[in-house]
Structure 1
């Protein structure tokens, strides 16, 4: 399995959550490609940690739909699956809609300023064709409402479904279609500032459903794995 050449890049005190994030990010950014086998010795050498937290992280990644495991045989990076991604998209759209609806009445100018700043960074990243920066800024934008709504169940569900969608968003933010998200972000901020929680929530839902055309163009498989 081709993995980054540097070894021991993660501190040996790494816990399973850190292993999960490292592997998740490598799958999302394409370092670990769809269909690639994930062998324990390679992962141990790359991350510089023991097998136990890696296996725990892989089990969590399987729950998120990012890897597939045949016990005693192999673990691979999941191919992109349109049906599963659509399911994740619908759940994410519903959760972000709920987060915004609950957050708007609680938002101060501080939160609105944070959203505007994140969207400025998002636009700048798109102009620079910097997909990683665009994803980070998009995360920062949506995180404001998720944090402000103070509903831990929303965060828990989003942590489950968002990693799969990030693989699709990388495709979107690498193209001109990503520019539409910035306009919808502006609309969410304007409606939130006006105290219109319902309209802001529905716009948040619309924003996440705009991934649909990208799903249709990925060429991914359309059968459950």
Structure 2
């Protein structure tokens, strides 16, 4: 029998993933604001998909803490939550530490150059007050190590926790200079170039934990922690 070109299951999976990525990006960049109600019909019209992939996408967003679902009542964009951000920050720091440890022994000159270039772009964005550019450059810097590590489990964990951190970043980054992170990035590159995997791993972890508040007064959603820079 001929092999089908595309199955219905694959179609739905692709639609679900597309809906998830679009909604996640809209929540992270503030298009969908904390507390905003999400209506299935409106989301379907916006995304151009049926209710099933939208509901599956929303369920996944709930799992990673970006939406709050009250069965039979409402679905809303989750508020910024200090405890959830602190937990995500700890996990992300550990994952990026592992990424550096696994990547450094096999980094090439092109990888090191890419890290240097993105750190320069990060510094320029900070100097010009370009929050989005700084966030994108910071992500690109750390992505080099994650990509070279090629650890699918590690990547999957970061897929879950990073959006929450990026969301917090956008809420707070305008009040942060982030200049210390430029030097921290440069130190990571220096250690990586020297082949010091353990040193680079520790420096990468410290970079993600640098702006953790020394003391969080409480767990109220209104108080957001500094995101890692």
TM over 0.5, yes or no?
Answer: yes
Q: Look up the SS of the partner of 1:69 in the other structure.
A: strand
Distance 2:28 2:144 in 1: 22
Aligned to 1:56: 56
Matching residue of 2:141: 141
Which residue pairs with 1:76 in the alignment? 76
Aligned-residue CA RMSD in angstroms? 2.2
- Higher mean C-alpha displacement, 91-100 vs 169-178: 169-178
CA distance in structure 1 between the partners assigned to 2:178 and 2:52 by the alignment? 39
**Residue aligning to 2:65:** 65
Partner of 2:226: none
Q: Quote the Cα distance in structure 2 between the aligned partners of 1:89 and 1:24.
A: 18
**Match of residue 24 from structure 1:** 24
State the secondary structure of the residue aligned to 1:195. coil
CA distance in structure 2 between the aligned counterparts of 1:78 and 1:140, rounded to whole angstroms: 26
In 2, the alpha carbon distance for the partners of 1:151 and 1:136 equals 22
Q: How do 1:1-225 and structure 2 match up within 5 A?
A: 15-213=15-213, 220-221=221-222
CA contact (8 A) 1:172 1:211 kept: no
What do residues 103-150 of structure 1 show as CA deviations (whole Å, max 9, x unaligned)? 100101011011111111111222222222212111111111111112
Q: Which has the larger radius of gyration?
A: 2
| Aligned residues between the structures | 210
- CA offset at residue 219 of structure 1? 7.1
Instruction: Give, in whole Å, the separation in 2 of the partners of 1:171 and 1:189.
Output: 28
Q: Distance in 2 between matches of 1:14 and 1:46?
A: 17
Q: 1:216 to 1:28 in 2, by over 3 A?
A: farther
1:7 paired residue number: none
Contact map agreement 2:81 2:220 (CA 8 A) in 1: no
Q: Please report the TM-score for the alignment, with normalisation by the length of structure 1.
A: 0.86
Bigger mean CA deviation after superposition, 149-158 or 166-175: 166-175
What are the superposed Cα offsets for residues 59-117 of structure 1, whole Å, 9 maximum, x if unpaired?
Answer: 11111110010122111111111111101100000000010011100101011011111
In the alignment, the residues of structure 1 paired with residue 214 and residue 63 of structure 2 have an alpha-carbon distance, to the nearest angstrom, of: 23
Secondary structure in 2 aligned to 1:177? coil
Name the CA shift for 1:94/1:215 in 2 (closer, same or farther; >3 Å).
Answer: same
CA distance in 2, matches of 1:95, 1:165: 14
Q: 1:86 to 1:177 in 2, by over 3 A?
A: same
Gapped regions of structure 2 (runs ≥ 5): 1-12, 224-229
